[in-house]
């Protein structure tokens, strides 16, 4: 009596369990990997680095000799982006402000007025009554001297002076720097109309 005779019909119908024998990679894959490794080793050993590191962008030596690599070109600051990030919540995207709460920038006599006064307002802020277009606002405007660079302040002031039918000239960064230096000892915001009208 053999082992097969001892099995019942259900056991005879069972399939053989799959084996987990290790199978080698096909020969062509093994050869390809070997060839790539050999080529990599030869390429690395035969490559000679003769270019100077500063020539890494492939500019001609004549171009490098004429360029001042220590100086970086200034990137233009987007005054509209600064306005969106720092000013739009109060003065609104249309420059109309919030009636009775935050004054408008559109057609504002302060925006169209002396650039130095506008620079002082942004650098040091306002606390107190400010009359804009005949309406008195009694609130606060934060100081941006520690939040924005001179370039950013110049850019946002130039932006508001050219939007919403405002047609005033651009403000240069040097003016902001001059005003900042001249008022560096000021610690408090301006007291609205009372102080700003004297500037």
Give the number of residues written for the chain: 199
φ, ψ of residue 136 to 5 degrees: the values are: -90, 125
- pLDDT tens per residue, range 67-125: 554 444 456 888 888 888 888 888 888 989 888 888 888 888 988 888 998 989 899 88
Residues 6+ apart with CB under 8 A from 148: 82, 86, 122, 156
Enumerate the domain spans of the chain. Answer: 79-196
Q: How far apart are CA 103 and CA 134, in angstroms?
A: 11
Contact (CB, 8 A) for 52 and 61: no
- pLDDT tens per residue, range 143-153: 888 888 889 99
pTM of the model: 0.60
Burial class (CB in 10 A: 0-12, 13-18, 19+), 183: middle
Q: Does domain 79-196 have CATH number 3.40.920.10?
A: no
Percent of the chain, pLDDT > 90?
9
For 166, the 3-state DSSP assignment is: coil
Residue with tokens 């934060």: 142
């Amino acid at each position: 009596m053999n082992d097969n005779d001892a099995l019942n019909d259900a056991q005879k119908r069972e399939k053989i369990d799959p084996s987990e024998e290790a199978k080698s990679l096909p020969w062509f894959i093994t050869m390809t990997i070997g060839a790539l490794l050999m080529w990599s080793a030869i390429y690395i050993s035969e490559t000679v680095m003769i270019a100077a590191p500063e020539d890494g962008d492939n500019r001609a030596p004549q171009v490098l000799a004429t360029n001042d690599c220590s100086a970086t070109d200034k990137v233009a600051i987007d005054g509209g982006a600064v306005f969106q990030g720092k000013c739009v919540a109060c003065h609104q995207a249309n420059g109309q402000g919030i009636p009775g709460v935050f004054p408008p920038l559109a057609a504002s006599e302060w925006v169209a007025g002396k650039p130095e006064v506008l620079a002082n307002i942004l650098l040091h802020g306002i606390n107190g009554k400010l009359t804009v277009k005949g309406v008195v606002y009694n609130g606060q405007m934060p100081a941006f001297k520690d939040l924005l660079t001179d370039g950013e302040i110049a850019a946002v002031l130039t932006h508001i002076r050219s939007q919403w039918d405002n047609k005033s000239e651009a403000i240069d960064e040097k003016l902001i720097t001059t005003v900042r230096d001249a008022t560096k000892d000021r610690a408090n915001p301006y007291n609205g109309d009372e102080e700003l009208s004297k500037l």
